[in-house]
Amino acid sequence: MTQPQPLLRTLLLIDTERYSDRDDVQQGYLRRMLFGIVDRVLLAAGADESLRRRADRGDAVMELIDPSVPLTDLLRSLLTDLPGELHAVNRLAAGSAQIRLRAVLATGFVDIDEFGGWVGTDLNHACRLLDGDPLRAALRERPDDCALCVSEAVHAGIVAHDHRGIPRDEFHAITVPTKNGPMGAWLHGPLPGSSSTPQQAPTDRAPSSATAGLDFRGTNHGVVAQHVEGAITFGGPGERR
């Protein structure tokens, strides 16, 4: 029996929003766009194909990246190149072909077994961050085309030190519920539900009688200072109230 040989790797997981809502032609297009975007973003970070291994998950990709690729370069590329690539693709795409992505950057030990499968608790944790409600809600609520979170280890080792191009104030602690208990992580950008933009009142709502006087449809024979003097007619002639 082959014994596991886990090696330390950087883990990058990227998933496509609303992939299953598209038809087969659209899904094929989204996959081509996804693979191209990920390749260009990782190449910009210095992670060429010789330094990474990819697992294709249909609407998602998982990348095992050699630890010789600096995490600072990877994270900077995810914060700048990934949004830029998405903008370039989506500005020319029809509404049905828009691609929006959730991404997780983590580190951990992963073994590649004799069947080519990936095994590791750290990988399982990264998958749960990717599928967790906070990251899904963040992408759903934002106008941006991507949402990123990083593991506790990446935050402690990289983000917390405010490296150039990685502003720590833009990351916020989140708790992700999982079947094995809550997990901590750090979300880039505003927390879901934290928008401070005031809600606009509906323009077609009838004004309140407490602030806008009486609201009626008919003939007014004497509304003075929000009270009635005389009669008000509703409807046709002869209908008195």
pLDDT in tens, 114-163: 899 999 999 999 999 999 999 999 999 999 999 999 999 999 999 999 99
Whether 234 shows a pLDDT value over 70: the answer reads no
Q: Where in the chain is the domain with CATH 3.30.70.1230?
A: 7-188
What average pLDDT score do residues 71-88 get? Answer: 97
Beta strands 146-151 and 101-112: pairing type?
Answer: parallel
More confident residue, 57 or 3: 57
Would you tell me how many other CB atoms lie within 10 Å of the CB of residue 40? 16
d(CA 134, CA 144): 15
Q: Which long-range contacts (CB under 8 A, 24 or more apart) does 44-53 make?
A: 44/77, 44/81, 45/69, 45/73, 45/74, 45/76, 45/77, 45/81, 46/70, 46/73, 47/74, 53/112
- Out of 1.20.1250.20, 1.10.1060.10, 3.30.70.1230, 3.50.50.60, the CATH code matching 7-188 is 3.30.70.1230
pLDDT in tens, 152-196: 999 999 999 999 999 999 999 999 999 889 999 999 999 999 764
Q: How confident is the model at residue 217 (pLDDT cuts 50, 70, 90)?
A: very low
Instruction: State what percent of residues in the chain have pLDDT above 90.
Output: 73
What's the whole-model pTM score?
0.79
More confident residue, 182 or 232: 182
Q: How confident is the model at residue 3 (pLDDT cuts 50, 70, 90)?
A: confident
